[in-house]
Structure 1
Amino acid sequence: MSTSITDYRQAIDHLPEGTTLVVHDVSWEDYERLLEELADRPAVRVTYDQGRLEIMSPRPEHEKYKCFIERIIIALADHLDLNVEPVGSATWRKKQEARGAEADTSYYIANADRIIGKRDIDLSIDPPPDMLVEIDATNESLSKFGIYSTLRVPEIWRYDVRHNQVHMYELRGNKYAEIPVSRCFPILTPKALADFVEQSKTKGQKAAMAAFRSWLEKRHKRGRVR
């Protein structure tokens, strides 16, 4: 392990929750070694953009909202009989582009069958995830969209914690455009998802999930989104 990696690890071990460490002029080799070193710290999010290294330590509430949205996605997939393969906060990277990032959670949907049984996913030969979810306390994930565009991720959901707003985006060309309804789950709008996240805060996740399933059944039968 190089001295620089040791220094990075020591800094990360003392990184307060909710803060971000940024380091410039980091080599791709050091980035990959750092990912190996942080295998025991799965909550830490590491982003690499052509020499710029960003390390974020999420707050506990960050994980709480992520877990609730994961439950929503699995309930949606079950209800709509869609094959979904969750891959969590996997690291998505391309050496030839010198870019890599970790979303809060990721899913294969249209391409689920292509990655079932794979222990390691290599974006040089495998498809990117069909959808990513980012939980934002300070809009920090917006700076990662250029990386996700390079990786050709089709859809991103971003939950803005401070304003309780959900934004959904699809890849158009080389940029992301905000959309009024999910392409992966066309029954769900950003506002509907934000409403249920808010319910999870005030009534708890169990009650919010029960309300979501009831809503889902009614909207699916009517063929409506709202």
Structure 2
Amino acid sequence: MALLVEPSARPDKPEPHAWSAPPPTEDQRVILNGMTWKDYEILLAVRGDESGVRMAYLNGAIELMSPSINHEGVKKTIARLVEAYADERAIGLNGYGSWTLKNAFAEKGLEPDECYALGVPSGGIPQLAIEVVWTSGGLNKLEIYRSLGVGEVWIWERGVGITVHLLKEGRYEKAPRSAVLPDLDLALLQSFVESPDQSQAVRAFRQALRTS
């Protein structure tokens, strides 16, 4: 069937720009309960490689989360700072972004804000995952990471900063330092995370590393 397009009444007059709302400052989250692992895998397949909505599965619940601009800004700043540190210290750190991590046997899955490995990931999982909590709520991500066997998780929470969680004997324990990057001064890194200028923050962080 042909599509009929009516000509504009005044083709010489430009169309007004469509108004768009400002990006949300809080994460948008929906929890679907009573869902199966197959439902989760179908949703992942339907979404494909399109970015925007992150998915997690835990105990029959699927979380669909669209991160806010603030959330994305913080996670990107942390990533740039971590990578700058690895560059300055000549550490072979590889980043894998929001790589979908899942285990069909355990029926657990999620997509971290950022994740890293020293060299090539062993066993199909990163050594370090980073989660940003800009808006509270949602599934228990640490429980999912525990089931997946991710050895270290950083959680940056608004008003709190970064806390390090190390997997020991099947459970996470808070730690003062990273095990993957043991010489990293987390307090120093944290001092640059909420800078409004990411490039300036990275340059200042590099300078501080070179003089420390």
- TM-score normalized by structure 1? 0.76
- Contact 2:102 2:108 survives alignment (8 Å): yes
Query: Root-mean-square deviation (CA), in Å?
Result: 1.9
What is residue 182 of structure 1 aligned with on the other side?
Answer: 178
Give the superposition deviation at 1:70: 1.1
Structure number with the higher helix fraction is 1
Q: How many positions carry a matched residue from both structures?
A: 188
1:216 aligns to 2:197 (yes or no) = no
Distance in structure 2 (CA, Å) of the matches to 1:49 and 1:114: 23
Match of 1:144 in 2: 141
Q: Of the two structures, which has the highest relative contact order with CA contacts closer than 8 Å and spacing of 6 or more?
A: 2
- For the 8 Å contact 1:86–1:106, the answer to whether it is kept is yes
> Which runs of 5 or more structure 2 residues have no equivalent in the other structure?
1-23
1:41 Cα shift?
3.6
Q: 1:148 & 1:194 partners in 2: Cα distance? A: 23
| Alignment correspondent of 1:155 | 152
Cα distance between partner residues in 2 of 1:31 and 1:147: 14
CA shift in 2, pair 1:142/1:182, >3 Å: farther
Counterpart secondary structure, 1:113? coil
Runs of 4+ in 1 over 6 A off after TM superposition: none
Q: Provide the C-alpha distance between the structure 2 equivalents of 1:107 and 1:99, rounded to a whole number of angstroms.
A: 19
Q: Is the 8 A contact 1:182 1:189 kept in 2?
A: no
Question: What SS does the aligned partner of 1:56 have?
Answer: strand
User: What TM-score results when the alignment is normalised by the length of structure 2?
Assistant: 0.81
How far does the alpha carbon of each residue in 1:113-171 deviate from its partner, in whole angstroms, 9 at most, with x for none?
Answer: 357xxxxxxxxxx242000111111344771101101111111111112x151111111
Identity among equivalent pairs (%): 32
Q: Which amino acid aligns with 2:153?
A: I
Q: Which has the larger Rg?
A: 2
Q: Is 1:98 paired with 2:107?
A: yes
